Amino acid sequence: MPGMPSTVAAPFRRWSWRIFRIAGLAYLGICLLVAWNQRSLVFRPEQLSSPVLQRMAADRGFLPWTNAAGLRIGWWRAASIGSATARPGAVLILHGNAGSAVGREYLADPLQQAFPLPVYILEYPGYGDRPGSPSEHAFLSAADEAFATLPARVPVYLVSESLGTGAAAWLAGNHPDRVQGICCLVPYDRLVRVARHQMPWLPVELLLLDRFPAEDWLRGFHGPAAFCVAGADQVIPPQRGLHLHEAYAGPKRLWVLPGVDHNGALARPVAWWREVVALWAPGSIPSRTP
C-alpha cells in the first residue's frame, strides 16, 4: 500500500490474502452444501401411510386411481350424475409442492361444481405413500404416465398450482391436440428464476438440477390458458407468473389478486372457476384482461 512501510505492508497482504481464501472456501462450502441438499430444499413432500390416505380420500369422495400395473398413482372422483351441463372430458390436477394429492379437495370441489367432469389428481413420486424420490424427471415421467391413463378419446383440461406448473406446461406442450385448456394457479416461467429470487447470493444457474422451464414447454400449446397470480406471493415472485402470461401466445386471461399471498390464491370460489370454464369453452376468448 502507498506510504505503508514494507515491514507492515507484507504482513497486511498476507493476512488479507488469508482472509480472502478463508471467505472463498467458506462460500464454496456453502455452495456445495446447498447443491448436495438442493432437492430437500426444492421439494417438500407430505408422506402419509396408506390407511391414513385411504381414510382421507373416502371422506372427500375420492377413489384410487391406478395405472396399468394396478399401482395407485393418485385419486379421482366422478362428475355429478345427472348434471344438465355434463359433457365428455376429464380434468387432470397437478398439485403444488406441499402436502399430497388427497388434500386437494379445495381445487376439485368448486371446479366440479362449475364444470361437472371427472377429476383426476396425480400423486408425485415421493409424495403421499407413492414410492420414489421427487425430481424434475420423476415429475414429468409421472405426468406422462398419468396422461396416458386418462380415459381415451376425451378432451383433457389441466389445472396446476405452484410447482405443478412445470408438469402441466410439459403435458400441454406435448399433447396440444388433446388438451383443450389449462389453468395455472400461482405459476412461474422458470424455476431457476424463482430460485435466484429466493437465494440471490448463490450461483443457482450453475447449481440447480431441476429447472422446470415452463415457459419453453408451453410454447407447443396454443389453446385457452388461464393464469392466476398472487399479488403478495412470497414463495413465487408475482413477476414470474406475469412473465409466463406475457410470453404465452395463445388465447389467455390473467387474474392478479392484490394483497393475496401464495396459499391464499389457491382456493378459488365456484364463480371464479365458471370464468375459467368460459375461457376453456370453444370460442370463449374474453374481450378484456382484468
Contacts of 80 (CB under 8 A, 6+ apart): 86, 112, 116
Q: Could you list the beta-strand ranges (E) of 22-155.
A: 63-66, 72-77, 90-94, 119-122
Task: Give the confidence band of 85 by pLDDT, cuts at 50, 70, 90.
Answer: low
Task: Give the confidence band of 286 by pLDDT, cuts at 50, 70, 90.
Answer: very low
Give the pLDDT of residue 8: 55
Per-residue pLDDT tens over the stretch 237-261: 999 999 999 999 999 999 999 999 9
Sheet holding 90-94, edge to edge: 63-66, 72-77, 119-122, 90-94, 156-161, 179-185, 225-230, 252-257
- Mean pLDDT over each residue of the chain, to the nearest integer: 89
Task: Give the confidence band of 81 by pLDDT, cuts at 50, 70, 90.
Answer: low
The SS3 of residue 120 is strand
The model carries a pTM of 0.88
Q: If you count them, how many residues does the chain have?
A: 290
Q: How far is CA 25 from CA 18, 91, 153, 158, in A?
A: 11, 50, 58, 46
Give the pLDDT of residue 35: 72
Per-residue pLDDT tens over the stretch 51-71: 999 999 999 999 999 999 999
163: cell is 410447482
Q: Would you say residue 83 has pLDDT above 60?
A: no
Per-residue pLDDT tens over the stretch 205-248: 888 999 999 999 999 999 999 999 999 999 999 999 999 999 99
Q: Would you say residue 135 has pLDDT above 90?
A: yes
Task: Give the confidence band of 202 by pLDDT, cuts at 50, 70, 90.
Answer: confident
Mean pLDDT, residues 136-153 = 96
Q: How far is CA 13 from CA 6, 25, 135, in A?
A: 10, 18, 46
Q: Would you say residue 285 has pLDDT above 50?
A: no
8 Å CB contact between 211 and 191: yes
Q: Would you say residue 289 has pLDDT above 90?
A: no
Mean pLDDT, residues 264-276 = 96
Give the pLDDT of residue 86: 59
Give the pLDDT of residue 283: 40
Mean pLDDT, residues 113-119 = 95
Q: Would you say residue 9 has pLDDT above 70?
A: no
Share of the chain above pLDDT 70, in %: 89
Q: Would you say residue 39 has pLDDT above 90?
A: no
